[in-house]
């Protein structure tokens, strides 16, 4: 093993962030935007991404003040340790619940499309175990895995989108710009919440070398993810129409069925697509798992992180199987994203940044120079 | 000791790998359905509480005839027939009869019987099933049988049976005009986005062949009526498709076909004032490929061509007019793509009429402007 010092480069963090942000949410994003703004849904993606730039600015400013520290440490510095601990505990719960929902969605889709006879429990356990294996090895390992997964996930996706272009029917997007300002803002706000994984930056900054480049990391990865999401949403609406998109549970999966590869080379592209998409789920779930274990490590002031991953598994497993059907899972996801997401994505980073500014805790940019 | 443990653990891991998996699919044990025919059962009386609603016919290929020199006198395909209450139930029943899982991942064509298409509920059920079941791709071709789907699937053609000549690949099918290639994804999109309005081509059994002829028009998921071959051809002109199609006209003592090599159609103006007023412009380019061998007759010259162009324009305009009248008055359904064009180009007009579009379309005044250019006349004057 070489250089297992748990330090990763900014480039690697960008790759991780892109994979994480581009995970489950993109599968349902077209439907969600269409529900708000009908055929103009794609405009919301632009608005949402712009808002996410704003959130990321606060997060970047916050973590800049505390290089080499995770959220658990610096929230203690800013708002005293007990409150910091409480916040960390909430984030821990949020991570566990998010991981559970992501993994359940993944399980449901795999069962429906790839493995109809395999029990969903088995699908979930096997993915959880492999995520545990990765999480135990630390952040550096995650970065290396992201480097491998990045091309094999995104290149096929872009190729498949290109194959779908002939099926696009522009009249489905017309008439343009029919949404009201209210719809635009509420919709953009909602879309911006799909970038919730930005909060992983609150923790990951401690592992980045050099540590004060968070702003740039956020901008690049948001731009890439924003463009990918935009093109996916535009294509989906243009192919299925507004009402057709609304009917699909997984519009992007159905998008794969539309494509007809020459000479019936591969007949069920959505199965192929699942395999690529699985990579991003793997990335995000192992991310949540890893940072959950990091929070526990910091909270109990342990030196080692790896042995704390496995005890988290039962919680995630049971929670993931708790909702009875796919619609309930979706409702949980909505609740988590709409009600809880904003607190962690917007309110907490902003307040902490404000308090840190007022109390003058943490390194300022002038000091570093 | 340690070495022994290592070997043992390797053995155990291999054991795990040898167990196979839940979802193994032995390729020999699957019935790969190639075409699926769905008919309304004759016993169907009331839609509820009847265990005989659907007749399903499905064809699976005889794999031994697919091989190069295998087969001999064996049939190309096997047929299975089964009746049931719901599609899922029917297919489960078929699985129970033939003890082999049925696989729909390779379905190329779905043929709906005429009676089924005319039954609103059954039609909606079938299309929902296709949409909901992940096994069906969205590129499956869909068509309506002139009588029953069973008859179409069983039909023998002179050379070879209906072996999905129409289904293998849209590019391979030279006999189907473009506008008739409609996959199920497109039908579903149209139905969902346009309040149950769509057009599905009709397949017809001749004496010893099969062919497409016209299609069925749906509004509000309800079968409205047929369009015949000539009407569909005209319809495709207004959609700006039908490249490679032709239009025959009686001109100066001979039957002259006009072969279309390029066509485009667009709405050039639209206004709404009590009623909708639209102008559709169709521009085509094409060739004259036949005339008459008669030396006493005048050769083709530019005057002759000009005159023919004008006559063609008039004739085509009239035919389009007739089809539009049927669509507007009788079927009351916009399958000419007018809605899409209005949405795209005249959003202001569209905004005014979208609430009551169906009615407004019925009363709309559609002006047709056909512009024909004859580019080539073959090798002789």
CATH of the domain at A242: 1.20.1740.10
**Domain-located, residue A4:** no
Angle at A159 between CA A156 and CA A160, to 5 degrees: 85
Geometric angle at alpha carbon A60, from A56 and A65, rounded to 5°? 155
B188: contact with A, CB 8 A cutoff: yes
Is residue B128 scored above 90 in pLDDT? Answer: yes
Confidence of residue B44 (pLDDT cuts 50, 70, 90): low
Among A118, A171, A255, pick the best mutation site for testing chain B contact (most B Cβ within 10 A).
A171
Least confident of B87-101, B210-224, B234-248: B234-248
Domains held by chain B: number = 2
- ipTM value for the complex: 0.81
Q: Is residue A225 part of a domain?
A: yes
Spatial neighbors of A178 by CB under 8 A, at least 6 apart, are A38, A39, A40, B347, B351
Together in a domain, B146 and B275: no
Q: Classify residue B174: in a domain, yes or no.
A: yes
Compare all CA atoms of chain A with the CA of B338 and give the residue at the minimum distance. Answer: A171
Residue B10 within any structural domain of the chain: no
| Cβ of residue B292 closer than 8 Å to a chain A Cβ | no
- Closest CB to A174: pick one of B21, B137, B344: B344
Domain ranges, residue A18: 10-368
DSSP of B285-302: EEEE------TTSPPP-H
Pair (B244, B104) in one structural domain: no
The answer to whether residue B41 neighbours chain A at the CB level (below 8 Å) is: no
Residues B146 and B273 in one domain: no
Query: How many Cα atoms within 13 Å fall on the side-chain side of residue A366?
Result: 1
CB contact under 8 A, A175 and B351: yes
Residues B156 and B292 in one domain: no
**Residue of A113, A117, A258 with shortest CB distance to B22:** A117
Mean pLDDT of chain A: 86
Within-domain flag for A3: no
B222 and B182 in a common domain:
yes
Cα of A344 to nearest chain B Cα, Å: 37
Residue B72 has pLDDT above 70, yes or no: no
C-alpha pair distances (Å), A282 with each of A22, A128, A199, A275, A285: 12, 9, 18, 11, 5
Residue A198 placed within a domain: yes
Chain B, 148 to 177: residues with Cβ < 8 Å from chain A are: 168-169
- Asked if B343 and A117 come within 8 Å (Cβ–Cβ), the reply is no
Select from B17, B136, B138 the residue whose CB has the most chain A CBs within 10 Å, as the one to mutate to test that interface: B138
pLDDT tens-digit profile of B223-246?
999 988 888 878 888 887 766 677
B223 and B249 both lie in a single domain:
no
Instruction: Look at residue B334 and tell me whether its pLDDT is greater than 60.
Output: yes
- B292 neighbors B254 (Cβ within 8 angstroms): yes
Q: Is residue B14 part of a domain?
A: no
* pLDDT the model gives residue A70: 85
Q: In chain B, which residue's Cα lies nearest the Cα of A253?
A: B134
Instruction: Give the CATH number of the domain where residue B380 resides.
Output: 3.30.300.210
Q: Which residues of B201-214 are buried (b: 16+ CB within 10 A; e: fewer)?
A: bbbbbeeeebebbb
B237 and B223 assigned to the same domain: no
Whether A122 and B22 lie within 8 Å, measured CB to CB: yes
Contacts of B22 in chain A (CB under 8 A): 115, 117-119, 122
How many CA atoms lie less than 13 Å away from A172 in the CB half-sphere? 24
Q: What SS3 class is residue B230? A: helix
> Does one domain contain both B361 and B293?
yes
Residue A5 included in any domain: no
Predicted confidence at residue B77, as pLDDT, reads 72
A vs B: CB pairs below 8 A: 75
Instruction: Give chain A's domain count.
Output: 1
pLDDT on residue A262: 63
Q: Is residue B171 part of a domain?
A: yes
Q: What is the pLDDT of residues B259-295, one digit of tens each?
A: 888 888 888 888 888 888 999 998 988 888 888 887 7
**Same domain (yes/no): B198, B336:** no
Q: CB–CB of A178 and B192 under 8 A?
A: no
Residue B172's pLDDT band (cuts 50, 70, 90): very low
Do B60 and B179 fall into the same domain?
yes
Closest A-chain CA to B172: A263
Report the percentage of chain B scoring pLDDT > 90.
Answer: 8
* SS3 (DSSP) at A80: coil
- Residue A3 pLDDT > 60, yes or no? no
B189 and A CB contact within 8 Å: yes
Q: Hey, CA dihedral for B8, B10, B11, B16, is it positive or negative?
A: positive
In a domain, B336, yes or no: yes
Domain boundary residue, one of B205, B227, B249: B227
Which is higher by pLDDT, B377 or B43? B377
Residue B173's pLDDT band, with cuts at 50, 70 and 90, is very low
Question: Which residues of chain A are at the B interface, by a Cβ-Cβ cutoff of 8 Å?
Answer: 112-119, 122, 167, 169-172, 174-176, 178, 239-244, 247, 254, 257-260, 263-264, 267-268, 270
pLDDT at B167: 43
Return the DSSP state at A8. Answer: B
Last residue of a domain, one of B192, B227, B262: B227
The pLDDT, as a whole number, for residue B155 is: 73
Do residue B347 and residue A242 have CB atoms under 8 angstroms apart? no
Total residue count of chain A as it appears in this document: 369
Residue contact A240–B189, C-beta within 8 A: yes
Q: A110-139: buried (b, 16+ CB within 10 Å) or exposed (e) per residue?
A: bbbbbbeebebeebbbebbeebbebbbbbb
Nearest to B23 among A118, A241, A260 (CB): A118
**Residue A183 in tokens:** 């719809």
Containing structural domain, residue B50: 24-227
Arithmetic mean of pLDDT, A309-332: 90
Cα atoms in the Cβ-side hemisphere of radius 13 Å centred on A207: 24
Rounded average pLDDT over A318-346 = 89
- Residues of chain B contacting residue A242, judged by C-beta atoms under 8 Å apart: 193
**Would B4 be classed as within a structural domain?**
no
Question: Are B87 and B163 part of one and the same domain?
Answer: yes
pLDDT above 90: residue A95: yes
| A60 vs A221: CA distance, rounded Å | 13
Q: How far is B145 from A203, CA to CA, in rounded Å?
A: 63
Comparison of pLDDT for B114 and B74, the residue scoring more: B114
- Tell me the torsion sign for CA atoms A348, A354, A359, A360: positive
Domain membership flag for residue B65: yes
The predicted structure's pLDDT at residue B215: 87
| Interface residue of B192, B194, B240 to substitute, partner A, most A CBs within 10 Å | B192
Which of B172, B205, B227 is the C-terminal boundary of a domain?
Answer: B227
The string of DSSP letters for A243-307 reads HHHHH-SSHHHHHHHH---GGGSSS-HHHHHHHHHHHHHHHHHHHHHHHHHHHHHHHTT-S--GG
Residue A1 domain-assigned?
A: no
Confidence band (pLDDT; 50, 70, 90) for A189?
Answer: very high
B212 has a pLDDT exceeding 90? no
Same domain, B211 and B272: no
- Give residue B175's pLDDT: 45
- A134 within a domain of the structure (yes/no): yes
**pLDDT value of position A211:** 74
**Residue A332 in domain:** yes
**What band does B298 get if pLDDT is binned at 50, 70 and 90?**
low
Instruction: Tell me the pLDDT band of B51, cut-offs 50, 70 and 90.
Output: confident
Beta carbons of B189 and A122 less than 8 Å apart: no
Whether residue B15 lies inside any domain: the answer is no
| Gap from A171 CA to chain B (nearest CA, Å) | 5
Q: Is B106 on the interface with A (CB under 8 A)?
A: yes
CA distance linking residue A6 with residue A141, whole number of Å: 8
DSSP class per residue in B11-44: HHHHHHHTT--TT---GGG-EE-SEEEEEE-TT-
pLDDT at A292 over 70: yes
Q: What is the pLDDT of residues A119-163, one digit of tens each?
A: 899 889 989 999 999 988 888 888 889 999 888 888 888 887 888
Q: Please tell me whether residue B165 adopts helix, strand or coil conformation.
A: coil
pLDDT, one tens digit per residue, over A4-22 is: 667 888 888 899 888 888 8
């Amino acid at each position: 093993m070489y250089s297992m010092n748990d330090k990763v480069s900014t480039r690697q963090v960008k790759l991780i962030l892109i994979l994480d942000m581009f995970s489950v949410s993109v599968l349902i994003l077209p439907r969600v935007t269409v529900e708000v703004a009908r055929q103009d849904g794609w405009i919301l993606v632009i608005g949402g991404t712009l808002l996410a730039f704003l959130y990321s600015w606060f997060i970047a400013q916050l973590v800049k003040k505390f290089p080499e520290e995770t959220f658990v440490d610096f929230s203690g510095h800013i708002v005293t340790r007990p409150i910091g601990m409480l916040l960390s505990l909430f984030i821990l719960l949020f991570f566990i619940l998010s991981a559970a929902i992501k993994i359940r969605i993944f399980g449901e889709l795999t069962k429906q499309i790839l493995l109809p006879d395999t029990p969903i429990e088995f699908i979930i356990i096997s993915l959880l175990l492999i995520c545990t294996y990765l999480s135990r090895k630390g952040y550096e390992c995650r970065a290396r895995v992201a480097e491998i997964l990045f091309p094999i996930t995104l290149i096929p996706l872009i190729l498949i989108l290109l194959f779908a272009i002939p099926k696009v029917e522009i009249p489905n997007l017309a008439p343009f710009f029919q949404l009201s300002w209210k719809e635009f803002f509420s919709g953009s706000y909602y879309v911006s919440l799909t970038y919730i994984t930005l909060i992983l930056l609150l923790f990951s900054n401690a592992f980045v070398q050099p540590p004060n480049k968070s702003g740039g990391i956020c901008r690049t990865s948001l731009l890439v993810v924003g463009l990918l999401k935009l093109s996916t949403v535009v294509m989906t609406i243009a192919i299925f129409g507004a009402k057709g998109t609304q009917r699909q549970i997984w519009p992007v999966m159905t998008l794969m069925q539309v494509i007809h590869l020459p000479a019936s080379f591969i007949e069920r592209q959505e199965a192929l697509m699942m395999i690529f998409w699985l990579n991003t789920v793997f990335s995000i779930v192992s991310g949540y798992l890893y940072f959950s274990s990091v929070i526990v490590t910091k909270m109990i002031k342990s030196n080692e992180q790896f042995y704390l991953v496995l005890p988290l598994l039962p919680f995630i497993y049971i929670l993931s199987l708790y909702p009875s059907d796919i619609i309930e899972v979706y409702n949980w996801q909505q609740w988590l994203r709409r009600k809880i997401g904003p607190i962690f994505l917007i309110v907490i980073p902003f307040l902490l940044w404000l308090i840190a500014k007022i109390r003058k805790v943490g390194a300022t940019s002038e000091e570093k120079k | 000791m340690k070495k022994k443990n290592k070997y043992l653990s390797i053995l155990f891991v291999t054991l795990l790998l040898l167990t196979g998996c839940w979802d193994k699919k032995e390729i020999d044990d699957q019935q790969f359905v190639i075409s699926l025919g769905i008919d309304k059962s004759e016993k169907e009386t009331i839609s509820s509480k009847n265990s005989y609603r659907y007749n399903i016919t499905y064809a699976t290929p005889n794999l031994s005839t697919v091989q190069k020199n295998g087969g001999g006198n064996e049939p190309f395909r096997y047929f299975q027939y089964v009746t049931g209450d719901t599609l899922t139930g029917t297919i489960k029943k078929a699985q129970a009869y033939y003890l082999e899982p049925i696989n729909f991942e390779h379905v190329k064509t779905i043929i709906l019987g005429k009676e089924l298409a005319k039954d609103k509920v059954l039609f909606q059920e079938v299309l929902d099933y296709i949409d909901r079941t992940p096994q069906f791709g969205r590129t499956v071709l869909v068509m309506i049988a002139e009588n029953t789907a069973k008859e179409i699937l069983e039909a023998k053609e002179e050379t070879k049976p209906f072996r999905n000549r129409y289904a293998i690949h849209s590019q391979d099918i030279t006999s189907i005009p473009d506008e008739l290639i409609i996959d199920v994804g497109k039908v579903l999109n149209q139905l969902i986005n346009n309040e149950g309005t769509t057009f599905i081509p009709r397949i017809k059994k001749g004496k010893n062949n099969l062919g497409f002829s016209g299609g069925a028009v749906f509004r509000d998921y309800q079968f409205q009526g047929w369009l015949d071959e000539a009407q569909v051809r005209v319809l495709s002109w207004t959609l700006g498709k039908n490249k490679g199609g032709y239009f025959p006209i009686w001109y100066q003592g001979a039957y002259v076909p006009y072969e279309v090599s390029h066509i485009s159609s667009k709405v050039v103006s639209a206004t709404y004032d009590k009623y909708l007023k639209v102008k559709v412009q169709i521009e085509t380019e094409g060739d004259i490929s036949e005339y008459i061998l008669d030396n006493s007759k005048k050769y083709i010259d530019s005057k002759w061509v000009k005159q023919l162009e004008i006559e063609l324009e008039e004739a085509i305009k009239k035919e389009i007019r007739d089809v539009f009248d049927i669509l507007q008055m009788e079927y009351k359904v916009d399958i000419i793509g007018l809605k899409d064009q209005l949405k795209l180009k005249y959003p202001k007009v569209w905004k005014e009429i979208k609430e009551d579009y169906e009615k407004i379309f019925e009363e709309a005044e559609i002006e047709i402007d056909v512009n024909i250019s004859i580019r080539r006349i073959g090798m002789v004057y």
